[in-house]
Amino acid sequence: MAQRKNKLIILSGATATGKTGLSIDISKKFNNNKFSVVNFDSLLFYKELNIGTAKPTIEEMQAVEHHLVNVGSISKEINANDFVKLAEEKINELHEQGKIPILVGGSTFYVRSLIKGMYESPSPTDELKEEIEILYKKEGIAPFINFLSKNDPESLQQLHENDHYRLMRAYEHYKTTGSPISVQKKSYDENNPYDFSKNIRPDWDMLHISLELPKELHWQIMEKRAKEMIDTGLIEEVKELLAQGHTGHEKPMQSIGYKETLAHLSGDLTSKKELVERVFINTRRLAKSQKTFLKKITPKETFHTLEERDKIFDLVSRFLNS
């Protein structure tokens, strides 16, 4: 008789599609003590970033236990490799306790790394790490983009300009090996990195639920969120971080919301209205990128967040009883 697999639910979706609320609703409907949320939104890892990340409220985190939220500081980035180690440990711990983890987030590269594994790069030298850190703090992401445009244009074309981690990783890989990381990625892609049914987790029984909203409604929600972030103190949060000695060049501080607020404080975006608009535009771009990535992932069940909740609950019920 085959050994029973440990169940796990993945709840994905672009930013502002209602993932946190649904994860709590699922937990409440099917027994709070059975579920635990494991975050895979990369910005929620950092204890200093709150308003600009739409972090779950204290009440939400008390309603259902959350893990991998506020586990690090912006002074030391938690990359995909770090996340995989943290998530593996936490998920195994929860399974041993008889609980069902719900992986919740929009950083699909991170969750794919957990499910499918990562293509490997040789470890860079300490000298190269220091060189990259100094260059990034001094000049931001621009010199890395310029380098890749000449030496690895294929990777540059595939990566979003806000994806500083992977842009810098491509730079690091080339500097270490003398060849583009896109060459190694081609080998990884031959095994279809978007097919979650072929994974490195044979002991997990996974249900992947992906959330979507109609474009017009989604835009309204993103615009409202951008305005609320500014109205509820994002500018003050960034000012406080700078006053504490952070430079603003930390990778998490270059994410949407924080990057634009830093530009506002430096005088590049003069009015709050202009700041809100820029955050909204960049959030839309991020959401489009996330949706493009998610469309490639199989298998998954996709639902309208607001109108198909009963269908989601029915699917979860059948999964739990299977």
Please check whether residues 197 and 105 belong to one and the same domain.
yes
Which pLDDT does position 224 carry in this prediction?
98
* In contact, 185 and 194? CB cutoff 8 Å: no
**In the structure encoding, which two tokens stand for residue 53, read together?**
């990340």
- Domain coverage including residue 273: 218-286
Please check whether residues 22 and 51 belong to one and the same domain.
yes
Please check whether residues 24 and 109 belong to one and the same domain.
yes
CATH assignment of the domain containing 136: 1.10.20.140
Please check whether residues 56 and 113 belong to one and the same domain.
yes
Please check whether residues 198 and 257 belong to one and the same domain.
no
Q: Give the chain's radius of gyration (CA, Å).
A: 20
Residue 138 located in a structural domain: yes
pTM of the prediction? 0.84
Please check whether residues 61 and 197 belong to one and the same domain.
yes
Which residues in 126-157 are b (16+ Cβ under 10 Å) and which e?
A: eeeeeebeebbeeeebeebbebbeebbeebbe
Count of domains for the chain: 3
* In contact, 67 and 36? CB cutoff 8 Å: yes
Q: Cα(300)–Cα(92) distance, rounded to whole angstroms? A: 23
Residue 268: CB atoms within 10 Å: 12
Q: Tell me the HSE value of 321 on the side-chain side, using a 13 A CA sphere.
A: 7
Which pLDDT does position 120 carry in this prediction?
67
Q: For 230-251, give the secondary structure using H, E and C.
A: HHCCHHHHHHHHHHCCCCCCCH
Residue 318: CB atoms within 10 Å: 10
**In the structure encoding, which two tokens stand for residue 152, read together?**
């690895």
Q: Which of 291, 164, 137 is nearest to 222 (CA)?
A: 291
Torsion of CA 182, 289, 57, 6, to 10 degrees: -60
Residue 142 located in a structural domain: yes
Residue 1 located in a structural domain: no
Residue 160 located in a structural domain: yes
Q: Cα(88)–Cα(199) distance, rounded to whole angstroms? A: 14
Which pLDDT does position 162 carry in this prediction?
84
Per-residue pLDDT of the chain (322 residues; tens, 9 = 90+): 456 799 999 999 999 999 999 999 999 999 878 999 999 999 999 999 999 999 999 999 999 999 999 999 999 889 888 999 999 999 999 999 999 999 999 999 999 999 998 876 677 888 998 999 999 999 999 999 999 999 999 999 989 888 888 899 899 999 998 989 888 777 777 778 899 999 999 999 999 999 999 999 999 999 999 999 999 999 999 999 999 999 999 989 999 999 999 999 999 988 999 999 999 999 999 999 999 999 999 999 999 999 999 999 999 999 999 9
CATH assignment of the domain containing 104: 3.40.50.300
Please check whether residues 202 and 105 belong to one and the same domain.
yes
Please check whether residues 130 and 114 belong to one and the same domain.
no
Q: Cα(95)–Cα(18) distance, rounded to whole angstroms? A: 26
Which pLDDT does position 1 carry in this prediction?
41
* In contact, 128 and 175? CB cutoff 8 Å: yes
Please check whether residues 86 and 209 belong to one and the same domain.
yes
CATH assignment of the domain containing 282: 1.10.287.890
Classify strands 6-13 and 100-105 as parallel, antiparallel or unpaired: parallel
Residue 303 located in a structural domain: yes
Residue 260 located in a structural domain: yes
Please check whether residues 84 and 199 belong to one and the same domain.
yes
Please check whether residues 202 and 316 belong to one and the same domain.
yes
* In contact, 13 and 107? CB cutoff 8 Å: no
Q: Cα(64)–Cα(242) distance, rounded to whole angstroms? A: 33
Which pLDDT does position 186 carry in this prediction?
78
Q: Which of 243, 251, 245 is nearest to 76 (CA)?
A: 251
Please check whether residues 32 and 61 belong to one and the same domain.
yes
Q: Tell me the HSE value of 60 on the side-chain side, using a 13 A CA sphere.
A: 17
